[in-house]
Structure 1
Amino acid sequence: MYWTLELARHLDDAPWPATKDELIDYTIRSGSPVEVIENIQTLESEDDSYVYESMEEIWPDYPTQADFLFNQDEY
């Protein structure tokens, strides 16, 4: 499984919190690339009813606004 910003952006509008099956359904309905669906399918959880709260739970290194080094107040 690998994540890139381009792949992860397809989950920005996902219905969080969501189970693995709900995320797969969302990515199929929204026309996400096959790689996104494959990445979600390879998620390892104890059971299929585990609820993911956000993208950060799926990809711990997912960059947030705080990771970018610029001051939004200047713009």
Structure 2
Amino acid sequence: MYWTLELISYLEDAPWPATKDELIDYAKRSGAPLEVISNLEELDNDDYPYSSVEEIWPDYPTGDDFVFNEDEY
């Protein structure tokens, strides 16, 4: 299983919290690439509801990961 920013972006608007099966269904209905569906199928727990993208991909970059000095602009 591997995630990229492009692949995980297909799940950003998913109806959170969601189980593995709900996320797979959402990915299929939203036209996500096969890699996204394959990655979701590799998740461990079928019944556990995931509350966000960060639970699926712990390394998902957040706004705090980007250094941007607003005072410069």
TM-score band, normalised by the shorter chain? over 0.9
Q: Quick one: structure 1 residues 71 and 32, their matched pair in 2 at CA, closer, same or farther if it must change by over 3 Å?
A: same
Which residue does the alignment assign to 2:9? 9
Which residue does the alignment assign to 1:34? 34
Secondary structure, in 3 states, of the residue corresponding to 2:68?
A: coil
**AA at the equivalent of 2:18:** A
Cα offset, 1:40, TM superposition: 0.3
Cα offset, 1:49, TM superposition: 1.4
**AA at the equivalent of 1:24:** I
**AA at the equivalent of 2:36:** V
Q: Per residue, is there more strand in 1 or in 2?
A: 1
Partner deviation per Cα, 1:4-59 (whole Å, 9 max, x = no partner): 000010001000100000000000000000000000000012xx211001010010
Which residue does the alignment assign to 1:54? 52
Report whether the alignment pairs 1:64 with 2:65. Answer: no
* TM-score, with length taken from structure 2: 0.93
Cα offset, 1:73, TM superposition: 6.3
Structure 2 unmatched runs, 5+: none
* TM-score, with length taken from structure 1: 0.90
